[in-house]
Amino acid sequence: MAQVAPEEPWKEERAERAKKTRDRDGWVVFVLILLNFFACQFGHGSNIGVAVSLPGNSKAMNLALGSWVMVGVCLGLPLTPWACRTFGEFYVVIVCTILDVIAMLLMTVPGISLHQIYAVRFLVGFFEAPFLPYLQKWLSRHGSHNWNLWNTTLHAMVPLGENVGFIVAQELVNAGFHWRWAFVGQAIVFGGTALLCLAYAGRRYLDLSDDHPTKRLDSEEDLEKPASEVEYPSTERWGVYWATNVSLAAQLGFLSGCKYVIRDYATSRGFGLHVILGTFSGIALIGPALGGYVAMSGSVVQSDKWSQHRRTLIFLASVSSMAAVLAAVLPYVSSIVFWPALFLTFCIAGGVYPAAQGIINLALTKSRVIEASVYQVQCNNLLFAMPMPYAIGKAMDSWSIGASFRLVAVFQVLAAAGFSLAMLSADWEEERSTWNRLTSPRDAATLLEEGFSPNLELMNISAKEERNNLHQGH
């Protein structure tokens, strides 16, 4: 003991320095990833800003710019799992990042036609398809201890980047500049942050392949803390997953669809262009941020713990229903009340995204994190993001702008109905799972011999029990 004691302070000091280094590296890499993902979403918002600013008699043809991006994503996503298995996520993401920067710069070609823009936006969507599935796996590998905060912040870059790009592209056009400068800025920020991230993190933090000894950003002490451990179900909960997935797609359809109609709809109600851009962009940024903060704070729901999934689903059904009521009355309120009512709607609806994202990421178990992300993006794209821009444009060409705005409000009503269905699906799947365990003599006997209830469903409960017994023994 006398020989070991002098080494202990040195070991503790070294461990403390290593932990501080990991924490610093983790936040630096994460911030660079956030900036890169923000630049990616900025391009999507600029694309919408260009679409609503283009001259012409057909809104459907102009708004179809948003559809072609999603066509590329839809075709790229099915190839993502195969490409990642064959070449590795690290190399797939690097190659797609380089090609994506080139595609962004193609938007700056002088005299580019509308149909050429369609092709370029298709390429952008195709090369960006692997990004979100990769980032979800990166978070599950390196951000498990900060998962709730990091995952919510990452997905907050979607509305933030889109809204900034939405207003920048239109303001450039209104100021007499060409909208291509928005994409020049996007390519610089996107490519620059990607290079910085690769230079700082390298393969030690970015290569997620199983045969590569990737260095973890979580310390062993962090991983052993049960209070912040991400909880997954023991088996896939497909009913809850798909009901929540489709409902979230409808929710995003409402939030994104408003961008396509708000300029014409608010103009028809007598508002000026600068008032529309400034007010709506502020609402679309601040409203969902406030609602999302409530959902991710942990005071109401804990979306990273499957043991709390029923409470999360009740929260989703409640807030989406309140937002649906507000969205339904928006076309009938006075102009004075319209913007405050829209802000309240976005604020309440903003709580849906982080809570639903937690259910989606967990429902298919830890082994299917990438698959869950791929299915989610594909579902959103096929049901809403891809057909919605053209459909809204067609409605604006064929119907009145008021009818088109009411069509967008219907998406919020669909989201509320879907989350209520997800809550019912969770109860049904739980009853079926419990019945199967109780009627299986082998499974029930095995659990009883181990001292657990047959209703046990969390895959990490046994590990927690062992830790608790170990602490009590000490």
Per-residue CA distances from 178 to 169, 173, 402 (Å): 9, 6, 30
What was the pLDDT predicted at 470?
Answer: 46
pLDDT at residue 337, as a whole number: 95
pLDDT for res 227: 41
Give residue-wise pLDDT tens across range 303-318. 778 888 888 999 999 9
Task: Give the Å distances, CA to CA, from 343 to 41, 140, 318, 337, 349.
Answer: 22, 33, 18, 10, 10
Comparing 407 with 6, which gets the higher pLDDT?
407
pLDDT value of position 432:
61
Handedness of CA 425, 426, 432, 436 (dihedral sign): positive
Burial class (CB in 10 A: 0-12, 13-18, 19+), 444: middle
CA distance 33 to 346: 26
CA atoms of 417 and 250, how far apart (whole Å): 10
Alpha-carbon separation of residue 232 from 122, 278, 367, 381 (angstroms): 35, 42, 10, 26
pLDDT at 235 over 70: yes
- What's the rounded Cα separation, in Å, for the pair 406 and 200? 48
Mean pLDDT calculated for residue range 406-422: 94
What is the per-residue pLDDT across 433-470, written as a single tens digit (0 to 9) for each?
Answer: 555 555 555 454 554 454 444 444 444 444 444 445 44
Rounded distance between C-alpha atoms, residue 88 and residue 263, angstroms: 43
Q: Which pLDDT score, from 0 to 100, does residue 247 have?
A: 95
Alpha helix segments (H runs only) across 77-146: 79-87, 89-106, 114-128, 131-142
Q: pLDDT of 22-38, one tens digit each?
A: 778 878 899 999 999 99
Mean of all residue pLDDT scores within the chain: 82
Query: What pLDDT, on the 0 to 100 scale, is given for residue 74?
Result: 86
Q: Which CATH number fits domain 230-439: 1.20.1250.20, 1.10.10.1100, 1.10.3720.10, 3.20.20.60?
A: 1.20.1250.20
Question: In the structure, what pLDDT confidence band is assigned to residue 431 with cuts at 50, 70 and 90?
Answer: low
118: left (phi over 0), alpha (psi -120 to 50) or beta: alpha
| Fold held by 25-223 | Growth Hormone; Chain: A; (1.20.1250)
Q: What is the DSSP string of 320-361?
A: HHHHHHHHHHGGGS-HHHHHHHHHHHHHHHHTHHHHHHHHHH
- Contact (CB, 8 A) for 130 and 80: yes
Do the Cβ atoms of 440 and 279 come closer than 8 Å? no
Judge whether residue 234 has pLDDT over 50. yes
pLDDT above 80 (res 219):
no
Q: What residue ranges of the chain are covered by domains with CATH 1.20.1250.20?
A: 25-223, 230-439
Task: Please write the tens of the pLDDT for every residue from 244-256.
Answer: 999 999 999 999 8
| Residue whose structure tokens are 């990421």 | 361
Q: According to the model, what pLDDT value does residue 440 have?
A: 53
pLDDT tens for 349-406 read 988 988 898 888 888 887 787 788 778 888 888 888 889 989 999 999 999 999 999 9
Q: What is the band of 206 on the pLDDT scale with cuts at 50, 70, 90?
A: confident
- The two structure tokens encoding residue 215: 């260095």
Cβ contact 408:100 at 8 Å: no
pLDDT of the residue at 264: 92
What is the percent of the chain with per-residue pLDDT over 90, rounded to a whole number?
A: 35
- 53-80 average pLDDT score: 85
Instruction: Name the DSSP class of 227.
Output: G
Q: Is the pLDDT of residue 39 over 90?
A: yes
Tokens 């790009």 correspond to 165
